[in-house]
Structure 1
Amino acid sequence: MMLALQHGATGFSVPVLLVGLGPSVLDIDIGPLLALVPIGLVAGVGYGIAYYYRYTYEVTASTFDVSSGVFARRSREIPYRRIQNVDSSQGLFQRLFGLAVVSIETAGGGDTEATLRFVSEDEAERLRSEIRRLTAATGESTADSDPDPDRSASDEPTPSERTRENHSSGGGAPTLLFDLEVRDLLLYAVTSFRWGAAVFPIAILVFLGGADSGSGLVPAFVIDAARPFGGPDTLEGAAVGPLLMLAAVTAVQWSVFTYVSSAIYTVANYYGFRLGHAGEDFVYERGLVQRYSGSIPVEKVQSVSVTENPLQRLVGYAGLRVETAGYGPDSGSSNQSAVPLAGTDRVYRFAETLTGVETPDFRSPPRLARRRYFVRYSIVAAVIVAAAIGLSRVSTFDRWYLTAVVFVAVPPAAHLKYVNLGYFVGADHLVIRSGFWNRQTTVIPYYRIQTVSTRRSVFQRRLGLASLAVDTASSRTFSWGSPTIYDIDLETAREIHDTGRERLQSALRERARTDDLGLSVDFT
């Protein structure tokens, strides 16, 4: 019924939109269009019903099969060994009707492999539990097909084998590992900033654009706010100076509105966050209006990152994110919050317990790198001052020399860039730290490394420096790039490259012998 109504609303809205645009934009007679409104409604409802009956899925012993399509049929068989995440979500209306959306994510794809819409809550939970159980059973059978000849029946079981013995069914109530308290949620909201929230103030500007201002898309309240600071009374015939002041005040307003929107989004998105452990999976749930829940297989985790921004470091808090090869519901990417925010010491203990990494003793790049950052930021400051000088030649803005204050920020900026870089080459893990505004400390097991590439820009080649990028089998986005060791000596980069390759081969041989997941899930 919900699917039929959804498609019916789509079929109804298109003719209604054409009716609204007909006289003024399209310059056509709306009489024939009015007849399309009920036809669109009926056609949409009919298509939704047909899609429902033509959509089938089946949980088999080795694959999850999905068939869909009304006019063009599509059939997929998804092997359990490729499944990375099984997530479910519920919007407000879906929660009222007891429905859910189940998403199945696999490795190597940019889109969700299969989405089951409008299934009942009980069916969603059954599918998640059943797929988790079969995924674990598939991994177990794969491991058992190639037993270690050097191990006897009396040998102690590995941690992964003990986990499978204790949770072979994949069912039962999850063991709670982390619960985000309201105080920490509010702290997370005020100490985080999400650029994606900028769409909300932009939408407000479009919605209120031109209201009593006679200035196009710029609302009256934006011009009124800038007027006491030298902004224009109206955009028509305004000089460059008042327009620049209007732009500056608007930027401040936009930043404030974005920050507030970001805080509201964070509260709504992470309200009631809980992380648990069931079988060989992490299970989580979160959300106020839109409720999310899902699972993250422990053996699919590629890397673990501790994230901190300056405000969070100031109050002694940090977050923990895990990277998988699939796509999860968190910002449409493969990195998901395991712990949105907690005390820094606690988060680092979580990371060490989860990965088994020893406490890292970070090494810093050579001091030559700090000089490079000083020169880089000095060039940026010079460009800003030159732009101000050019602006003063074409406008009434004559205090260009005030922009020279940006040079004061160059030394601390170069220093902060440098001191927040570090790396640690451990026995089983490579640990990389970088970033000031969003510092990330990433722990990568050697057996998860796919490629290690040495990158050198023109300036790095002149200084004898190089950067080392480490890629895993994850699907990273532009904002969440590959972990990189920046600006180290070329010889050091080559040594780390060779060490990583040797320890990768050693780790793979050891895992093949012991069949150990290499990850612990006991956060206590």
Structure 2
Amino acid sequence: MNRLHPLSAATYALQYGFFWLWIPVVFVVVLSGIFDPIRAAWVPIAAPLGFLFGTAYGVVYYYRFGYEITSDTVDVASGVVARRDREIPYGRIQNVDIRQSVFQRLFGLATVSIETAGGGDTEATLNFVSETEANRLQAEIRRRTADAKDRRQERKRDRSVAEEDSTVVGPEPPEVEEGDASVPPEGASSGPDADRPPGTGEEPRAAEDGTRVRSRRPGEEPAEEGSTLGPVADRDRREDPTRHPQQRPLFDLEPRELLLYSFTSFRPAAVAAVLFVFFFATEAILEAFITAAQPFGGPADLGTGDPASYGILTIVSGSISIVVTYAISVAYTFATYYDFQLGRVGDDFVYERGLLQRYSGSIPAEKVQSVTVTDNPLQRLIEYGGLWVETAGYGPDSNGGSQSAVPLAKHGRVYRFAENLTGVETPSFESPSPIARRRYAVRYSLVAAAFVAIAFGVSTLTPFESWYVAAAAFLAVPPAAHLRYVHIGYYVGDDHLVIRNGFWRRRTTVIPYYRIQTVSARRSIFQRRLGLASLVVDTASSRSFFWSSTTIYDVDLEDARAVREASRERLQTALRERAEADDVGLSVDFT
């Protein structure tokens, strides 16, 4: 078993030391209020004892943690009291991601995460290994995962050939007199491969240049494309753990596109960051707001002021909060997608990105469940969009690594990428029932009425009297209902289901039929009265708060049933065709 980098011992020691420091402190404080012999003055003694125990536990955890790359699995052993031994088969591994923080990049360290399709949690994490070891592990696991796939496909082809041979009845072999030296004995062969056991290979074949190339034998590693070194040398090269696989570049995010992406997108994490800072520095931030609002007529302090000055303070503080949150979002996006590069290694998409924290990961083509083109109103205005993929067990926002294939590019280029990647024909979208537009108008009218009611309630509790100004919200109801309706569409193709939804963040999702898990119809009370239904199309990818299941909203009930039946029938057809073609279903040369 291999051990982590020695700095991991110090990291685990500090991590568990500070965690265990608080446990005896809490016990002493709680028990001192219950039992008289226990005093709160014992805290200065209990805290260092807890820290020492946690430090020792962290060091022991480091020595009890080990990992190993075997021929069939990645083995990871961990745990001090309760041991956990994991054997991760290469056929189940989905991503091998490398993450480097600023601290790790300074010391040449990296964190390696091994993810499978079993859910949104990482199967194994190695904190920390050297950067060289991280690259070696990523390349080695990726190579062995590809070899495991090749072996599965070879066994499948062998079974198909055996089934075909068993159905062919050939002529009976001619009778041979015993002792005839011109005929080899049964089960033997002649020629240059006479010493080869029967049934272990094929006859030599002729290459295009006239040279003779021996066919690969069962169990032998396949030669790399374009190799002229022969099977033995090729196998030695493939088993070399220090050799990084050849990567073919597919897409680079140019500086202009990076700036456009940063200024035209918004990260919800920026809101959490602002709230976090406000929680720990509330008084200082309020003082800054008051100071900024005073030139515009704001109050001198929170205790003295009239309703007008408080209103100005609210407007100024809200404006400052929006600007700061937007600036944090721009900076976060810029740092996250700085130097974004997408490439191809075998049948995997590989990416690198990050300014302060560097990420490196892979997107297996055979595990891609769906492809989504995204854009928002600002990006649509300048005719730009992004391309995201969902893999088995993971959605675009479900893990630390990004599943963005193309963060931002021209609409035409993104659509061409999506068509080349999935093989989908250009969709002609069908709109939902016109009744849905009326339903959205009623829904948004209720929201506007609630807004007016809140304003009226505030006016009864405060000097604010112009509550009726809130009725202007009803002016936004017709355009909001129309925009919601026109951005919904679906297309039932021969091999793919294409679904479009959303205005603020429009998503156009391409789902191959063979990736569909379930197609379920949902009807609320209001939909049942209007004869409408929504179809939820689920794949094997994970969902998050900001990335929900793909849904066709508010179509006629009969249309919903027709789409569900068509999806079910074409799912079975697509599965049979894919099994016969032995195809991953997506083109890794999508550019």
For residue 122 of structure 2, the aligned residue among 109, 112, 121 is 112
- Which of residues 506, 511, 516 in structure 2 aligns to 1:449? 516
Matching of residue 475 in structure 1 with residue 536 in structure 2: no
* CA–CA separation in structure 2 for the residues paired with 1:187 and 1:430: 30
Query: Aligned pairs, how many?
Result: 510
Q: How far off is 1:5 after superposition?
A: 2.2
Distance apart, 1:205 and its partner CA: 1.9
Which residue is equivalent to 1:84?
94
Residue number in structure 1 paired with 2:336: 269
**Deviation, structure 1 residue 238:** 6.6
SS at match of 2:517: strand
Which residue does 1:157 correspond to in 2?
none
Shift of 1:16: 8.2
Per the TM alignment, residue 143 of structure 1 is displaced from its structure 2 partner at its CA by 2.8
Distance in 2 between residues matched to 1:164 and 1:224, nearest whole Å = 72
> 2:99–2:111: 8 Å Cα contact kept in structure 1?
yes
- Specify the SS of the correspondent of 1:146: helix
Offset at 1:110? Answer: 2.9
Partner Cα distance (1:443, 1:498) in 2: 18
User: How far, CA to CA, are the matches of 2:272 and 2:455 in structure 1?
Assistant: 29
Contact 2:18–2:54 under 8 Å retained in 1: no
| Cα gap change, 1:19 to 1:499, in 2 (>3 Å) | closer
Deviations 1:443-501 (CA, angstroms, capped at 9, x unpaired) = 00000000001111111111111111100001111210111111111100000000000
Q: Which position in structure 1 is the counterpart of 2:527?
A: 460
**Equivalent residues of 2:520, 2:536 under 8 A apart:** yes
| Change over 3 Å in CA distance of 1:465–1:285 after alignment to 2 | same
Instruction: Report the Cα distance in structure 2 between the residues aligned to 1:352 and 1:224, rounded to whole angstroms.
Output: 55
1:139 aligns with 2:154: no
* Aligned equivalents of 2:20, 2:304: Cα separation in 1: 42
Sort the Cα spacing of 1:389 and 1:505 in 2 relative to 1 into closer, same or farther, 3 A: same
Note if contact 1:334-1:474 (Cα within 8 Å) is conserved in structure 2: no
Moved more, 376-385 or 12-21: 12-21
After TM superposition, the structure 1 = structure 2 runs for residues 498-513 of structure 1, keeping only pairs within 5 Å, are 498-513=565-580
Q: Name the structure 1 match of 2:272.
A: 199
Contact map agreement 2:25 2:46 (CA 8 A) in 1: no
CA contact (8 A) 2:532 2:554 kept: yes
Distance 1:4 1:33, change over 3 A: farther
Tell whether the 8 Å contact from 1:58 to 1:65 is kept in structure 2 after alignment: yes
Q: Helix, strand or coil: the match of 2:471? A: helix
Which stretch of the first structure deviates more once superposed, 273-282 or 372-381? 372-381
Q: State the partner residue of 1:439.
A: 506
Unaligned runs of 5+ in 2: 1-5, 166-201, 206-221, 227-234
What's the offset of the Cα at 1:50?
1.9
Other-structure match for 1:184: 257
1:9 to 4, 14, 23: 14
Structure of greater relative contact order (alpha carbons < 8 Å, 6+ residues apart): 1
Amino acid at match of 1:188: Y
Aligned residue among 314, 322, 341 for 2:408: 341
Give the Cα–Cα distance (whole angstroms) in 1 for the partners of residues 19 and 570 of structure 2.
Answer: 59
Partner of 2:3: none
Residues 442 and 483, structure 1, Cα contact 8 Å, conserved in 2: yes
Q: For 1:318-329, what aligned pairs fall within 5 Å after superposition? A: 318-327=385-394
| In 2: Cα distance, 1:18 partner to 1:459 partner | 53
How does 1:143-182 map onto structure 2 within 5 Å? 143-147=153-157, 148=160, 166=225, 169=238, 172-182=245-255
CA distance in 2, matches of 1:76, 1:408: 60
The answer (yes or no) to whether the contact 1:109–1:326 under 8 Å persists in 2 is yes
The whole-number CA distance in structure 1 between the counterparts of 2:363 and 2:74 is 18
User: Where do residues 291-306 of structure 1 align in structure 2 (5 Å cutoff)?
Assistant: 291-306=358-373
Q: TM-score, normalised by structure 1?
A: 0.89
2:94·2:363 contact (CA, 8 Å) conserved in 1?
yes
Deviation for aligned residue 1:333: 7.0
Report if the CA contact (8 A) 1:323-1:334 is conserved: no
Match of 2:132 in 1: 122
Contact 1:85 1:326 in 2 (8 A): no
Q: Distance in 2 between matches of 1:416 and 1:151?
A: 57
Q: How far off its partner does 1:72 sit? A: 1.8
Alpha carbons of structure 1 residues 413 and 354: separation in structure 2 relative to 1, 3 Å:
same
Identify the residue that residue 377 of structure 1 maps to in structure 2: 444
Report the equivalent of 2:187.
Answer: none
Using the aligned pairs only, state the percent identity: 58
- Cα distance, 1:285–1:231 mapped onto 2, change above 3 Å: same
The more displaced of 381-390 and 421-430 is 381-390
Identify the match of residue 514 of structure 1 among 551, 575, 581: 581
Structure 2 CA distance for partners of 1:61 and 1:329, relative to 1, 3 Å: farther
Cα deviation for residue 9 of structure 1 reads 3.1
SS in structure 1 at match of 2:283: coil
TM-score, normalised to structure 2's length? 0.79
Please, which of 82, 96, 103 is the counterpart of residue 93 of structure 1?
103
> The residue matched to 2:541 in structure 1 has which SS?
coil
Matching residue's letter, 1:469: V
Distance of 2:491 and 2:402 partners within structure 1: 22
TM-align CA RMSD: 3.2
Equivalent of 1:60 in 65, 70, 86:
70
Instruction: Report the alpha carbon displacement of residue 302 of structure 1 after superposing the two structures with TM.
Output: 0.5
How far apart, in 1, do the equivalents of 2:293 and 2:246 lie? Answer: 57
- 1:405-447, Cα deviation, whole Å (9 max, x unpaired): 2122111111111111111111110000010000000000000
Q: Cα distance 1:15–1:298, how it changes in 2: closer, same or farther (>3 A)? A: closer
Partner of 2:288: 221
CA deviation digits over 1:118-142, x for unaligned, max 9? Answer: 1111211121122212222222322
Q: Distance in 1 between matches of 2:356 and 2:525?
A: 50
SS at match of 1:517: coil
Q: What are the equivalent positions in structure 2 for 1:240-319 lying under 5 Å apart?
A: 246-319=313-386
Choose which of 353, 361, 372 in structure 1 pairs with 2:428: 361
User: What is the CA–CA distance in structure 2 between the aligned matches of 1:440 and 1:240, rounded to whole Å?
Assistant: 43
1:177 and 1:340 map into 2 onto residues whose CA distance is: 13
What CA distance in whole angstroms lies between the structure 1 residues aligned with 2:276 and 2:420? Answer: 44
Residue 103 of structure 1 aligns to which amino acid in structure 2?
Answer: S
Which residue in 1 is equivalent to 2:193? none
One-letter identity of the residue aligned with 1:255:
I
Q: Which residue of 1 aligns with 2:460?
A: 393
- Mapped to 2, the partners of 1:334 and 1:498 lie a distance apart of 36
2:403 aligned counterpart, secondary structure: strand
Does 1:51 pair with 2:124?
Answer: no
Query: What amino acid is aligned across from residue 192 of structure 1 in structure 2?
Result: S
Structure of larger gyration radius: 2
Deviates more, 1:198-207 or 1:468-477: 198-207
The verdict on how the C-alpha distance between 1:12 and 1:50 changes in structure 2, with shifts beyond 3 A counting, is closer
Q: Does structure 2 conserve the Cα–Cα contact (< 8 Å) formed by 1:164 and 1:280?
A: no
Between the aligned partners of 1:380 and 1:480, the Cα distance in structure 2 is 24
Distance 1:370 1:109, change over 3 A: same
How far residue 3 of structure 1 moved from its aligned partner, in angstroms, is 2.0
Q: Is the 8 A contact 2:498 2:510 kept in 1?
A: yes
Distance of aligned partners of 1:313 and 1:328 in 2 relative to their CA distance in 1, 3 Å threshold: closer
CA distance in 1, matches of 2:82, 2:511: 43
Give 1:352 deviation, angstroms.
0.8
- For 1:64, give the aligned amino acid: V
Q: Deviations over 1:92-145 (max 9, x none)?
A: 111111111110111132311100111111211121122212222222322333
